[in-house]
Amino acid sequence: EIVMTQSPATLSVSPGERATLSCRASQSVSNNLAWYQQKPGQAPRILIYTASTRATGIPARFSGSGSGTEFTLTISSLQSEDFAVYYCHQYNNWPWTFGQGTKVDI
């Protein structure tokens, strides 16, 4: 099983600041990597897939990069609605796995 490790566990930032979230895979997942946003009481929402493709309707302030084992999600200028938990997810090898999440808060 591929283990996905996210860092940091919690990221404290202010509105308007840049946030950089990291995700590391225990072995290469090529570019089969997605990022999700989840708010309390809600289902996860897809942000990024194939490591860098924004999903439909996702604002341009969200960007993804990386390949192989190292990936980054960048939020260029945090808005109030961006405070949430973010998960990376590999779908290169079964079983598909998620990182443990990064909480972005104020």
Partner 1 sequence: EVQLVESGGGLVQPGGSLRLSCATSGFPFSSYWMSWVRQAPGRGLEWVGNIKEDGSEQNCVDSVKGRLTISRDNAKNSLFLQMNTLRIEDTAVYYCATSGWPWYWGQGTLVTVSS
Annotate each residue in 14-43 with x if it binds partner 1 (CB under 8 A) or - if it does not, as one string.
--------------------x-x-----xx
Question: Which 3-state string (H, E, C) describes the chain?
Answer: CCCEEEECCEEECCCCCCEEEEEEECCCCCCCEEEEEECCCCCCEEEEECCCEECCCCCCCEEEEEECCEEEEEECCCCHHHCCEEEEEECCCCCCEECCCEEEEC
CB of 24 to partner 1, least distance (A): 16
Residue numbers 43-62 binding partner 1 by CB under 8 A: 43-46, 49, 55
Residues that bind partner 1 (CB under 8 A): 34, 36, 42-46, 49, 55, 87, 89, 91, 94-101
